[in-house]
Structure 1
Amino acid sequence: MFAAAAAGRAIPKLCATDMLEAFGSCRVCLVEIEDRNGYPASCTTPVAEGMKVSTQTPALRRLRHGVLELYLSDFPPSEIPDGWSEFHETLKAEGVTESRYGNGRNHFDATIDQSNPYFLFDPAKCIVCSRCVRACAEVQGTFALTITGRSFESKVAASQDQPFFESECVSCGACVQACPSHALVEKSLFEGEYRHAEPAKA
């Protein structure tokens, strides 16, 4: 991924950043490598001399669209058109505007954690990319965040699944800076009370 960026070929990503170790969980940065099977994550694939990599092919576009649509299926619908997070920019760049997987289970009614005086956590916007967890561990060294549960039940939790302000969080802001979907966001960006986005009406 970083070799491609240095060569002027940006590869879409959601779980990777320059300040964190490669993780390979979002499956958006997939590439094709000549003479190799499958579609490896570019962030965890070391570059090698003579390697021939394709970053934009019909197969890769289909895979990325499918992954992004899955994320979109559990994201508040009314937050999609006018969003300005890294997640929204990735959707726009890849031309994904809706999901084929809607009307299923979702986290839209998850409780917003506003206990911290500086930022809030809206689980409805969380795509469980683990960037906040890794930023807390790798950048700050606090290890206050973790991912609990599996599959649909996976979620970001502070300490022993406590409100952020009651946890070991030191309010450094590393998690907020790392979050690509504004699930973690500074309170100063909002006037008045922050509320869940209402689901779009049919």
Structure 2
Amino acid sequence: MLLEVRGMTDAITLSIDGQDMQGHQGQTVMEVARENGISIPSLCDSPHLKSFGSCRLCIIEIDGQAGTPSSCTTPALEGMDVHTTSERLWDLRRGITELYVSEHPLDCLTCTANGDCELQDIAGEVGLRDIRFDNTPDCEDVPIDRSNPFFSFDASKCIVCSRCVRACDDIQTTHALSIDGRGFFSRIIAGADVPFMASDCVSCGACVDECPVGALEDTVERSFGVPDKWVRTTCAFCGVGCQFDAGT
């Protein structure tokens, strides 16, 4: 790994939740925390993508610094004293999660992502029990896009974390997806707001793999059922030779 090659000249020590931890210059607080076994909730973060800081669930407190910055975009610094858990942080995370859920369909029992949904997991982690706002899913009138034979897209379940867009841009470099609109009206679109099969989508599945909820659903996996084991193999789509885990 690159960090091993660098040696210890750029090593730093910081405190996270009262524990002294080793990190390296250039790492974020989230990276150091996770390397040392501390899990910080997040929906927009992925180990395969650059830090984005949009979901605001990975907020932290830093001694001597005002506010609650996102840990995925905050550089880890020598001597930093970080807190990832406090009553204030959990209250903020619970409120943020409540807003996500208030605009999300409450069909967990019938959703194919039930049990494998990051929003569902975080709602349980923050102790969300009641929703104070009217549950009106965004894009609830938008029909499910089933134009692609390998996956479907349900816009009403999308939380606009942009992981699919970033995977399409940064991993596959196809640039088939984008975010249309601003604020409450933001939504994911393919091409110039056309069905997936009418866009530049190459059906690589990178967007489906990154989706934290049930918005992008692998229809092939659904037809074969839930896999009981995983095998590391090589994609034969092109000559790059990317590896992926296939369920069998």
TM-score, scaled to structure 2:
0.73
Distance in 1, Cα, partners of 2:97 & 2:137:
17
Alpha-carbon distance in 1 for matches of 2:63, 2:175? 39
1:116 pairs with 2:148? yes
How many residues end up aligned between the 2 structures?
191
Higher relative contact order (CA 8 A, sep 6+): 1
What code does the residue aligned with 1:29 have? C
Would you tell me which structure has more strand in proportion to its own residues? 2
Counterpart amino acid of residue 44 in structure 1: T
Q: Percent identity?
A: 46
Say whether 1:14 aligns with 2:43.
yes
2:69 paired with 1:40: yes
Q: 1:180 aligns with which of 198, 208, 212?
A: 212
| Cα distance change of structure 1 residues 79 and 22 upon mapping to structure 2, 3 Å threshold | same
In 2 relative to 1, CA 121–97 (structure 1 residues): closer, same or farther, beyond 3 Å? farther
Counterparts of 1:60-75 in structure 2 under 5 Å?
Answer: 60-75=89-104
User: After TM superposition, where is structure 1 displaced by more than 4 Å over at least 4 residues in a row?
Assistant: none
SS of the equivalent of 1:43 reads: coil
After superposition, where does 1:68-147 map in structure 2 within 5 Å? 68-79=97-108, 83-84=114-115, 85-104=117-136, 106-147=138-179
Amino acid paired to 1:185: E
Distance in 1 (CA, whole Å) between partners of 2:137 and 2:151 is 27
Query: How much has 1:87 moved relative to structure 2?
Result: 1.8
| TM-score using structure 1 length | 0.89
Match of 1:197 in 2: none
Residue of structure 1 in register with 2:60 after alignment: 31
| 1:33/1:70 CA distance change after superposition, 3 Å | same
Judging by fraction of residues, say which structure has more helix: 1
CA-based RMSD of the aligned residues comes to 1.6
Alignment of 1:150-165 (within 5 A): 150-165=182-197
The aligned amino acid for 2:74 is T
Unaligned runs of 5+ in 1: 192-202
Quote the Cα distance in structure 2 between the aligned partners of 1:81 and 1:114. Answer: 18
CA–CA distance in structure 1, aligned partners of residues 108 and 210 of structure 2: 19
Rg: which structure is higher? 2
Pick from 69, 88, 95 the counterpart of residue 59 of structure 1: 88
Residues 165 and 28 of structure 1: CA distance in aligned 2, closer, same or farther (over 3 Å): same
Q: Equivalent of 1:167, from 184, 199, 206?
A: 199
Q: 1:91-139 deviations in whole A, cap 9, x for unaligned?
A: 2222223321224574323211010000000011100000000000011
What is the one-letter code of the residue matched to 1:35? Answer: G
Unmatched runs of 5 consecutive residues or more in structure 2:
1-29, 224-248
Higher mean C-alpha deviation, range 90-99 or range 158-167: 90-99
Closer/same/farther in 2, CA of residues 81 and 43 from structure 1, 3 Å limit = farther
Partner-residue secondary structure (3-state), 1:76: coil
